[in-house]
Structure 1
Amino acid sequence: MNRYGSVIKVKPEKLEEYKRLHANVWQDVLKMIHECNIRNYSIYYKDGYLFSYFEYIGEDFKQDMAKMAADPTTQKWWEICGPCQEPLATRLEGEWWASMDEVFHID
C-alpha cells in the first residue's frame, strides 16, 4: 500500500459549490475510484487550499490512473469540479493537483 498526498487551491467564490458537489459525489465516480484501487480517500480544506490524501492498494498506479482518466463519467465530473480549482504554479508538468512529499508517518 502506498500513501499519496496532493494539494490545489480552491477559488474562494467556488468553495461552497465545491463542498456541495462533494457532499453528493456521483456513484459511478465513487465506483471508479474503488476500481482503480484507491482507498481511504479524503479531501480537506484550509485557508484556500484543498489537501487530498488516499491509499493505493494496486500493482500499477500509472495504469489505474490512466483507466480513471479515460472514464467518461469521471471526465465529466472533472469538467464540473475543475472550474472550482486553481492549480499551483509549482506543480509538476502534467499534474492538476500538485503531488506532495511525505515527510512523516507513524502507524
Structure 2
Amino acid sequence: MLATPLPLRSTHTSLPDIPTETNHMQKMGWVIGIDPQHIPEYKRLHTAVWPAVLLRIDQSQVRNYSIFLREPENLLFGYWEYHGQDFEVDMAAIAADPDTQRWWALCGPCQRPLESRSPGEHWAAMESVFCSA
C-alpha cells in the first residue's frame, strides 16, 4: 500500500494537530495523480508490498494505511492513522530506509504530483472536514 515518496515527507508545517507530546491517533489524507498508462503496474506493485517496507511503516507508528484509485480522473487518495509522538522523526526514518527508497524508485514514475501541492510535498495533504465518532 505504500506509495512513493511518503505523503508526509515534506516541509509542510500547517497540518493540524500532528501529535508531538502525547501518543494519540491522527487521521491523515493525501492525494496525488497517477499516469493512466502506469495504473496496471501500480496496482500490481501494491498487491505485494515488500515486508521490509511494511515493517518500516509500522515501526514509524503508521496504521491502517490505504490507497484508493479514482478513475477517470486518475487520482490516488491515501489515508492513514498516525499513532506516534514525533511525526517528523518517524517520517524521516521511513525516508532514510533503503528498502523504502527502492520501493519509491519503482512507484514514483507512476505518480503525477499535483501542481497545487505545498512546497516540499510529493503527495498533497488534504484537510479533514468530517469524521464520525
Q: How high is the TM-score relative to the length of structure 1?
A: 0.98
Normalized per residue, the structure richer in strand is 1
Q: How high is the TM-score relative to the length of structure 2?
A: 0.79
- CA-to-aligned-CA distance 1:23-57 (integer Å, 9 cap, x gap): 01000000000000000110000020000000000
* Equivalent residue runs for 1:1-107 within 5 Å: 1-47=25-71, 48-107=74-133
In the alignment of these two chains, the number of paired residues is 107
Question: Structure 1: which 5+ runs fail to align?
Answer: none
Runs of 4+ in 1 over 4 A off after TM superposition: none
RMSD of aligned residue pairs (Cα, Å): 0.5
- CA-to-aligned-CA distance 1:59-87 (integer Å, 9 cap, x gap): 00111000100001101100110000000
In structure 1, C-alpha distance between the alignment counterparts of 2:99 and 2:119, rounded to whole Å: 24
Question: Structure 2: which 5+ runs fail to align?
Answer: 1-24
What is the one-letter code of the residue matched to 1:17?
E
Which secondary structure does the structure 2 equivalent of 1:82 belong to?
helix
Normalized per residue, the structure richer in helix is 1
The percentage of counterpart residues that share the same residue type is: 51
Which secondary structure does the structure 1 equivalent of 2:58 belong to?
helix
In structure 2, C-alpha distance between the alignment counterparts of 1:9 and 1:3, rounded to whole Å: 21
